[in-house]
Amino acid sequence: MRFVISLLLFSLLLYLSGCSGCSRSGSHQPRRQKRSTATKPAEEVTRAQTPVAPKPTLKQIGSGPTEVAMEKENGVYKVPVTVNGLPMRFILDTGASLISISATEAEFMYKQGAITEADVVGRSRFQDANGDISPGSVVRLKSVQIGDRVLQNVNANIVSSAKAPLLLGQSALSQFGKISVDYRRNIVTFD
């Protein structure tokens, strides 16, 4: 709980202070121009990323495409994903720019040792489908396993809302060459 509170306070403090971007060393980065988000309702607005992170890498455990079963729940499709060794179920969301994790899930992951304070790489402002903007933090996930594919060094957004859903966004999905959805069989195929 202490981690989540400190993470949220850090995000809120930076959000309210109007800081143009602070790295861990305390140096400032130039302010980026704001992008219009009026036409992208489920997009994150990320500000003040810290030093350049290693690019995500994709490892293939098996050969050929990997098929992952989807489960429809409350009108959305969820897929099983293992994040830093913890099994979770994410909504497949091609409109989200990053993987998105709620404060509640982040607290659980912290208690399990799956994320640490050292994994926090920046802050963000998240715009949801209603247009509401909330402060959050960006963390680097060591591994994200989908079927027999393992992504390493993937950025994710921790949304300050406790009720925010787990979203499998473009920070993971864009690492694949091709993704196809078979609604008849409830299968997602990752190439």
Task: Return the CATH number at 152.
Answer: 2.40.70.10
- At residue 26, the 3 state secondary structure works out as coil
Does residue 110 form part of some domain? Answer: yes
For residue 16, being part of any structural domain is answered with yes
% of the chain residues with pLDDT over 70: 68
Q: What domain range is 153 assigned to?
A: 2-22+56-190
**Count of domains observed in the chain:** 1
The reported pTM is 0.69
Strands 76-83 and 86-92, by their bridges, are antiparallel
- Average pLDDT of span 34-52: 39
Q: Mind listing the pLDDT tens digit for each residue in 64-106? A: 788 999 999 998 999 999 999 999 999 999 888 889 999 899 9
What is the number of other CB atoms lying within 10 angstroms of the CB of residue 121? 17
Residue 28 forms part of a structural domain:
no
Main-chain phi, psi angles of 100, to 5 degrees: -125, 130
The reply to whether 42 falls in a domain is no
Q: Is 75 left (phi over 0), alpha (psi -120 to 50) or beta?
A: left
